[in-house]
């Protein structure tokens, strides 16, 4: 069967669920992953064909996509800030909004990266996408990352190795941590103070579940997504308390936040004596990131 013909069938069957544009993007993402063919290759050679084994694979993937399993989980990888990351059911799929957070940190620190060795801590690292992207793009940075999930940390360690970066990973429950100086480490020395603490913690309230797409709600880890309606800022408050103790002078605390709680985040940080608090919107116009300074 010609690939061009299968493409039409693939998009037709998925468009009622995802829409034509997203279904088409899935097709080319999988095509490049499986056959190393891009859109231009198919345009220039419309007679390219799928073998019987190719068709078996594509039909299998098509059926999984109809169940709304994320395409990144089916491929086992996702792209983030120009890097490739392994993803699985133990970690969230990296999102464009989080790339904006990483870019903000890098832009903020551009003038300093040659003059000092920055100490960076990522809390709730998941796949490691934030920590690894910062380690890759900030020269001389010492990067440390925390997560409560052992399986997530195993994935993050693989991603650090795959992207040829050094990140020191620590397993701990941040909500049960009283001081970052007391974190359990074995083969490395943890700084007592950090220049940057960054976190994209769980922030979706249960009342917002109806807004969450099925492919996220049914397949991505709830541990990394949801918080109680009556205590939605629990992680932010705890991390900010730790940052008060463990940020160096002029240190910075970056958060990705719930789009509906931007004002509440500003109040929280200002009440905890963070200075020059900033709130930024993401590419979709939603309140998404904050920065507080010690």
Are residues 268 and 122 located together in one domain of the fold?
A: yes
Over 80: is that where the pLDDT of 33 sits? yes
Q: Beta strands 119-123 and 142-147: pairing type? A: parallel
If you average pLDDT over residues 199-223, what whole number do you get?
A: 91
pTM for the whole structure: 0.92
pLDDT in tens, 235-290: 999 999 999 999 999 999 999 999 999 999 999 999 999 999 999 999 999 999 99
Q: Are residues 212 and 135 in the same domain?
A: yes
CA–CA distance, 200 with 283 (Å, rounded to integer): 17
- Looking at residue 115, its pLDDT comes to 57
Work out the percent of the chain whose per-residue pLDDT is above 90. Answer: 87
Say if strands 194-199 and 167-171 run parallel, antiparallel, or are unpaired.
unpaired
Whether the CB-CB separation of 177 and 102 falls below 8 Å is answered with no
280 and 143 co-located in one domain: yes
Q: Are residues 130 and 163 in the same domain?
A: yes
pLDDT of residue 55: 96
For residues 71 and 62, the answer to whether their CB atoms sit within 8 Å is: no
pLDDT, position 182: 81
Does pLDDT of 71 surpass 70? yes
Its domain, for residue 142, covers 77-293
What is the pLDDT at residue 114? 54
Residues 137, 271, single domain; the answer is: yes
Contacts of 82 (CB under 8 A, 6+ apart): none
Both 168 and 255 in a single domain?
yes
Joined tokens for residue 154:
């195993």
Mean pLDDT of 36-46: 93
Look at residue 139 in the predicted model and tell me its pLDDT.
86
Q: Is the pLDDT of residue 212 over 80?
A: yes
72 belongs to a structural domain: no
Domains held by the chain: number: 2
Report the pLDDT value the prediction gives residue 229, as an integer from 0 to 100. Answer: 93
Residue-averaged pLDDT of the chain: 94
Q: Are residues 94 and 200 in the same domain?
A: yes
Q: Select from 67, 93, 119 the last residue of a domain.
A: 67
Residue-wise pLDDT tens digits, 243-258: 999 999 999 999 999 9
183-192: long-range contacts, CB 8 A cutoff, minimum separation 24: 183/146, 190/144, 191/119, 191/142, 191/144, 192/246
113 has pLDDT over 70: no
pLDDT over 80 at 111, yes or no:
no
| DSSP letter assigned to residue 182 | G
The closest of 67, 71, 68, 92 to 28, measured between CA atoms, is: 71
Q: What's the CATH code of the domain at 123?
A: 3.40.50.150
Mean pLDDT, to the nearest integer, of 36-62? 95
Can you tell me the mean pLDDT for 14-28?
96
pLDDT grade, residue 48 (50/70/90)?
very high
Which has the minimum average pLDDT: 16-20, 43-47, 144-148, 258-262?
43-47
Distance, in Å, from the CA atom of 1 to the CA atom of 217, rounded to the nearest integer, reads: 35
Same domain for 100 and 12: no
Angle at 116 between CA 114 and CA 119, to 5 degrees: 120
Q: Do 214 and 285 have their domain in common?
A: yes
58-62, 111-115, 128-132: which has the minimum mean pLDDT? 111-115
Examine the pLDDT at 222 and tell me if it is beyond 90. Answer: yes
Check if the beta carbon of residue 153 is closer than 8 Å to that of residue 125: yes
């Amino acid at each position: 069967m010609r690939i061009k013909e299968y493409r039409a069938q693939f998009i037709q069957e998925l468009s009622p669920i995802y829409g034509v544009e997203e279904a088409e993007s899935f097709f080319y993402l999988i095509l490049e992953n499986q056959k190393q063919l891009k859109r231009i290759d198919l345009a220039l050679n419309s007679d390219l064909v799928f073998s019987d084994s190719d068709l078996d694979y594509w039909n299998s993937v098509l059926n999984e996509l109809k169940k709304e399993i994320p395409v990144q989980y089916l491929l086992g990888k996702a792209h983030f800030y120009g890097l490739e990351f392994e993803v699985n059911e133990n970690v969230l799929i990296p999102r464009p909004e989080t790339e904006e957070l990483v870019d903000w940190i890098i832009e903020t620190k551009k003038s300093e990266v040659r003059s000092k060795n920055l100490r960076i801590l990522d809390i709730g690292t998941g796949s490691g996408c934030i920590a690894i992207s910062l380690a890759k793009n900030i020269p001389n940075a010492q990067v440390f990352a925390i997560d409560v999930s052992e399986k997530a940390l195993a994935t993050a360690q693989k991603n650090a190795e795959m992207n040829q970066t050094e990140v020191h990973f620590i397993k701990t429950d941040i909500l049960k941590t009283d001081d970052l100086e007391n974190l359990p480490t074995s083969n490395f020395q943890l700084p007592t103070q950090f220049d940057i603490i960054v976190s994209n913690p769980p922030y979706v309230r249960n009342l917002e579940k109806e807004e969450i797409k099925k492919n996220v709600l049914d397949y991505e880890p709830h541990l990394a997504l949801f918080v109680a309606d009556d205590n939605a800022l629990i992680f932010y408050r705890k991390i900010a308390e730790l940052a008060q103790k463990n940020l160096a002078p002029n240190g910075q605390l970056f958060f990705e936040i719930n789009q509906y709680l931007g004002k509440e985040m500003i109040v929280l940080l200002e009440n905890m004596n963070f200075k020059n608090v900033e709130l930024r919107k993401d590419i979709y116009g939603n309140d998404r990131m904050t920065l507080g300074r010690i």
